[in-house]
Amino acid sequence: MKAMVVTHYGPPEVLEIQEVEKPSPANDEILIKVHATTVGPTDWHFRLGSPFLARILAGGLRKPKVNILGFDVSGSIAEIGSNVDQFETGDEVYGLAAFGKNGANAEYICVPATNVSMKPTSMTHEEAAGIPSGAGVSLIFLRSAGIRAGQHVLINGASGGLGIFGVQLAKHFGAEVTGVCSTGNIEMVRSLGADHVIDYNKQDFTKDEPTYDLIYDAVGKRSYKECQAVLKPKGTYITTWASINIFLNSMWTLMYGSKRAKYTMPKIGPEEIRYFDGLVQAGKLKTIVDRVYPLEELRAAHEYSEAGHAKGRIIIRVTGNE
């Protein structure tokens, strides 16, 4: 089968199209013919091997152990493992690659059957692929921060691959939501349900009065120190950016003071997948497709993602024309 393979860390040029062996599903796995996948910051951090944590997570200190990237997948089932009884060959599904295993930058991928759900017929494969990792990660961060109905929640980076789900999920949990984005993304963030939108080019939210019960820094650009003053007493700040500072602030605020700083490792499992899939099937959670690239242009998609201005999700079309 055709796959985009990465055998050493480096710039987008390390991604090379190659013929590799088509995988076979284990007993609890399914083989998916990939129609669409995504590119986001985790892909290019793993390609670069930077920051160093990416090498630890990707499992290869000197060179990548996982040679095919692409965490999200939407496609049709080509083969079923002997213990899988919830799906049939030909079913159209969407979900996630198993962490630490080959991803969906390929014509076929094997994933545990518990990692996928039926694709809603109302969605194209490109739309469905744009959901799992972004929704799963934002779900874990918001839950870890203890989101509750009635809270005022600020989502920084509300227009990105994580932020678009942060806004929708926070509304689903019953919060009043403020999204922070650039001028061109205001209408999009509002369309996702944000009650208030702050244009960071015109207003610095960290200079507000103490307003927020929870700040979810989805884009990881504002520190706890910067956000602390705008949290209400007992408010929580959570960031997606793992740094020494956030670990020190987490420990410090756990022991002293009423406000909390947090980080978490978002390991998306079957429970999270079932949870966001319930919302997707009910038409309560959607993605925003920014650009679509064919697999052969994966390098250009990485470059675009690395520039840091994605409006929702960047999709890779592998096969089909959905």
Which residues would be at the binding site for ligand NAP (CB under 6 A)? 40-42, 45, 137, 156-157, 159-163, 180-182, 185, 200, 218-221, 240-242, 266, 305, 308-311
- Of residues 268, 272, 277, 267, the one with CA closest to residue 94: 277
- Of residues 148, 95, 102, the one with CA closest to residue 6: 102
Residue length of the chain: 322
- Please report where in the chains the tokens 């509002």 appear, as a residue: 190
| Residue 82 beta carbon to ligand NAP: minimum distance, rounded to whole angstroms | 33
CA–CA distances in Å: residue 2 to residues 99, 261, 286: 21, 44, 30
| Residue 168 beta carbon to ligand NAP: minimum distance, rounded to whole angstroms | 13
**What tokens appear for 147 in the block?**
């989101």
Closer residue to ligand NAP in complex, CB, 81/179 = 179
| Residue 291 beta carbon to ligand NAP: minimum distance, rounded to whole angstroms | 11
| Residue 85 beta carbon to ligand NAP: minimum distance, rounded to whole angstroms | 32
Tell me the residue number closest to ligand NAP, measured at CB: 160
Closer residue to ligand NAP in complex, CB, 33/262 = 262
CA–CA distances in Å: residue 164 to residues 68, 91, 137, 194: 26, 28, 11, 10
Cβ proximity of 120 and 98 under 8 Å: no
d(CA 148, CA 129): 28
Closer residue to ligand NAP in complex, CB, 40/132 = 40
Burial (CB < 10 A; 0-12, 13-18, 19+), residue 101, is middle
**What tokens appear for 137 in the block?**
């990660």
Closer residue to ligand NAP in complex, CB, 38/151 = 38
| Residue 185 beta carbon to ligand NAP: minimum distance, rounded to whole angstroms | 6
Closer residue to ligand NAP in complex, CB, 147/301 = 301
Closer residue to ligand NAP in complex, CB, 84/147 = 147
Closer residue to ligand NAP in complex, CB, 118/300 = 300
| Residue 42 beta carbon to ligand NAP: minimum distance, rounded to whole angstroms | 5
State how beta strands 152-156 and 260-262 pair.
unpaired
State how beta strands 15-19 and 2-6 pair.
antiparallel
The torsion angles phi and psi of 147, rounded to 5 degrees, stand at -55, 140
d(CA 284, CA 19): 39
Closer residue to ligand NAP in complex, CB, 59/257 = 59
| Residue 30 beta carbon to ligand NAP: minimum distance, rounded to whole angstroms | 25
| Residue 86 beta carbon to ligand NAP: minimum distance, rounded to whole angstroms | 28
Burial 45-64 (b: 16+ CB within 10 A, else e): bbbbbeeeebbebbebeeeb
**DSSP state at residue 286:** -
